[in-house]
Amino acid sequence: MELVIRRGSLKSIADMVNALRPHRVAVITDKRVATLHLEKLNGLEYTPLILPEGESTKSLTFASMLWEKLLDAGFTRKSVIIGLGGGVITDLAGFVASTFMRGVSLLLAPTTLLAQIDAAIGGKTGINFRGKNMVGTFYLPRYIVIDPDVLHTLPPEEWSNGYGELVKYAILSRDIHGAVMRGSGVNEDIIERCVRYKLSIVNQDLKEEHGIRRVLNLGHTFAHALEKYYGYKIKHGVAVAQGLRFSALLGEKLYGFDPADVDALLMKFGLDGCIPFKPIELLRAMRNDKKFWYGKMTLVVPVEIGTVKVVDVEESLILRTLGEMPCSQG
Ligand SMILES: NC(=O)c1ccc[n+]([C@@H]2O[C@H](COP(=O)([O-])OP(=O)(O)OC[C@H]3O[C@@H](n4cnc5c(N)ncnc54)[C@H](O)[C@@H]3O)[C@@H](O)[C@H]2O)c1
């Protein structure tokens, strides 16, 4: 797998793909990204497959529509699929590339901060089927091309999703924490540190078989439960931010972690607000999270910046901690 992180790198995709001498090339993207950034692939001959924006596009309906279009256009195993867009597109394009003809070459060009530092990294593909990401594959792209310049067109609400993951990385890695606290925003250097950190974890445990990848779930069991509680109508990044604060409070109780470190990070990225919830109902939603193996409440808890532990936590402690959070109701 080749990783390119460079301003303006979308314009190099044509050369990269042409060098592979593909039989055919398809670009899977959504309407908004097509309008804003598709022209940067000038010099490449491709079939554009432009889909509606939004989470509901990550479905079997659109996957099978794409398989049909590829078959109709005579695509073969020697073809290349490019996924240009946010996490919805990189997940769906990855899924289609991994299944079409048992797998064709894939190039991912993520265009949201969340996709650049998270969704496009690590080989997980998927569609929503009776539940979020219930069907998918592990499939590594041949190229990941990250062009930080495309983020200039990202609307403010999409930044918060990426910031949630960025703060997570800053808790997991001392090195990212330092870079984030020193800097005044997101730049190429910070994106690269996050990508390399995620790859360093994923490379030890690609298929989530050894538990190593679990550290990447920091804050996410809470976040998934809160998203479910609100019928997926709240922003993922905001839910993750609140989940990180919950993890920090647990860390304080179990290991003397200082939650002020997390509060400072959240404040820096404007993620210091919170969404109200009833602790007992949130606990119920957390119990259903697929990350609870064998009924144990296994959570990722920070010990200090740069160190976390994956531990089984008593439900009574979880409930007490939920009750102490700023937005808990009762
Ligand atoms: N595979 C993984 O490991 C993994 C990890 C995290 C998240 N995900 C998945 O990622 C998805 C969420 O991704 P997302 O937050 O990127 O959402 P998204 O793909 O829906 O993109 C959000 C919006 O931003 C627009 N957009 C994208 N790039 C833009 C740009 N440069 N300028 C202006 N607008 C732009 C899109 O058109 C869309 O409307 C979820 O489905 C989630 O499950 C996957």
Domain edge (last residue) among 114, 137, 153: 153
How many domains are contained in the chain?
A: 2
**Residues 101-120 pLDDT 10s:** 999 999 999 999 999 999 99
Phi-psi region of 79 (alpha: psi -120 to 50; beta: other; left: phi over 0): beta
Q: Determine contact, residues 137/117, Cβ cutoff 8 Å.
A: no
Domain edge (last residue) among 121, 153, 185: 153
**Residues 274-306 pLDDT 10s:** 999 999 999 999 987 655 555 568 999 999 999
The CA distance from 185 to 251, in Å, is: 27
Separation of CA 185 from chain center: 19
For the entire predicted model, the pTM comes to: 0.96
- Give the pLDDT mean for 192-213: 94
Query: Ligand 1 within 6 A of 88 CB?
Result: yes
**Residues 306-328 pLDDT 10s:** 999 999 999 999 999 999 999 99
Within a domain: 330 = no
Strands (E), 226-329: 298-304, 307-312
**Residues 11-59 pLDDT 10s:** 999 999 999 999 999 999 999 999 999 999 999 999 999 999 999 999 9
Find the CATH number of the domain harbouring 66: 3.40.50.1970
State the pLDDT at residue 131: 87
Residue 6 Cα to ligand 1 middle (Å): 20
Q: How confident is the model at residue 244 (pLDDT cuts 50, 70, 90)?
A: very high
What is the atom index within ligand 1 of the atom nearest the CA of 37?
31
Within a domain: 329 = no
Q: Within 13 A of 101's CA, how many CA atoms are on the CB side?
A: 15
Residue 54: Cβ within 10 Å count? 12
Residue 87 Cα to ligand 1 middle (Å): 4
Query: Ligand 1 within 6 A of 119 CB?
Result: yes
Task: Output the CA angle 254-257-262, nearest 5 degrees.
Answer: 130
Q: Do 180 and 294 belong to one domain?
A: yes
| Helix/strand/coil percent split, the chain, to 5 | 55, 15, 30
| DSSP, res 201 | H
State the pLDDT at residue 250: 98
Residues 6+ positions from 92 with CB-CB distance below 8 Å: 28, 51, 57, 58, 62, 63, 66, 83, 125, 127
State the pLDDT at residue 291: 54
Query: Ligand 1 within 6 A of 193 CB?
Result: no
Q: Residue 241: pLDDT above 70?
A: yes
Q: Whose CA is nearest to atom 34 of ligand 1?
A: 154
Within a domain: 328 = no
Query: Ligand 1 within 6 A of 318 CB?
Result: no
Nearest to 134 by CA among 103, 84, 91, 83: 91
Q: Whose CA is nearest to atom 8 of ligand 1?
A: 119
**Residues 52-85 pLDDT 10s:** 999 999 999 999 999 999 999 999 999 999 999 9
